[in-house]
A and B are shown apart, each in its own frame.
Chain A
Amino acid sequence: AQSVTQLDSQVPVFEEAPVELRCNYSSSVSVYLFWYVQYPNQGLQLLLKYLSGSTLVESINGFEAEFNKSQTSFHLRKPSVHISDTAEYFCAVSEPGNAGNMLTFGGGTRLMVKP
């Protein structure tokens, strides 16, 4: 069975500092990997995804994540954060062909950007 561990429940960081949100997964087969962001009182928005190809994927707002198969990780990074990046971030994994194509989410990491 697939599972996802987000190692940090909260990450405080100052504005314009770099940040890394860690995600490790467990699966016996190849997986697809996702990062979603949730702003207060809103649903989840897809930030970026890895399906195949280049192991480094980027989002339009400066985030990037690297798929590391040997370490079963998919850490999210941003070189310089803004106040507006304050939100809850969820890493998710899906095994192609699983019932319902379900996403298995980690417990989330609350990114708190301070001025």
Chain B
Amino acid sequence: ETGVTQSPTHLIKTRGQQVTLRCSSQSGHNTVSWYQQALGQGPQFIFQYYREEENGRGNFPPRFSGLQFPNYSSELNVNALELDDSALYLCASSLAPTGWDGYTFGSGTRLTVV
């Protein structure tokens, strides 16, 4: 059991740029969800991927996009960065889409947009 690994841990980008965040899911987990956690707030659901297909999306604009690969690693891409995109981005994997056994969260990538 390797847990969920996210990279990089910290990142600074300029407004208008594009960023890619990466996540390596726990072994055997075929579902990955991404959350955005602004400072002092609870995480907010961005989207979920199951078997490489988007399986649901929260209230985030299309400039937030994702990919899931056959080896269960995944990416979160954000285009045209805005200052409000500064947050901790959390990746969570689970054995099944429902996640009722509990999601395994990574430690996150802290993105700062300046």
Q: Do A and B come from one complex?
A: yes
Known A100-B33, A100-B57, A102-B33: A43·B42 in contact at CB below 8 Å: no
State in angstroms the CA–CA spacing of A41 and B103 once bound together: 18
Using a CB–CB distance below 8 Å, which chain A residues touch chain B?
4, 6, 32, 34, 36, 41-46, 49, 51, 90, 92, 94, 96, 98-108
**A104 to B45, Cβ gap below 8 A?**
yes
A-contacting 9-mer, from B12-20, B77-85, B105-113: B105-113
Interface string of B54-98 (1 = CB under 8 A from A): 011110000000000000000000000000000000101000011
Contact of A106 among B4, B42, B56, B100 (CB under 8 A): B42
Q: Chain B contact residues (Cβ within 8 angstroms of A): what range?
A: 20 to 34
**A90 to B48, Cβ gap below 8 A?**
no
- 6 closest A-B pairs (Cβ-Cβ)? A100-B56, A105-B42, A43-B105, A99-B56, A102-B45, A100-B48
- The chain A residue sitting closest to B4, CB to CB, is A43
- The chain B residue sitting closest to A44, CB to CB, is B105
Contact of B48 among A43, A44, A102 (CB under 8 A): A102
Contact of A45 among B45, B56, B99, B105 (CB under 8 A): B105
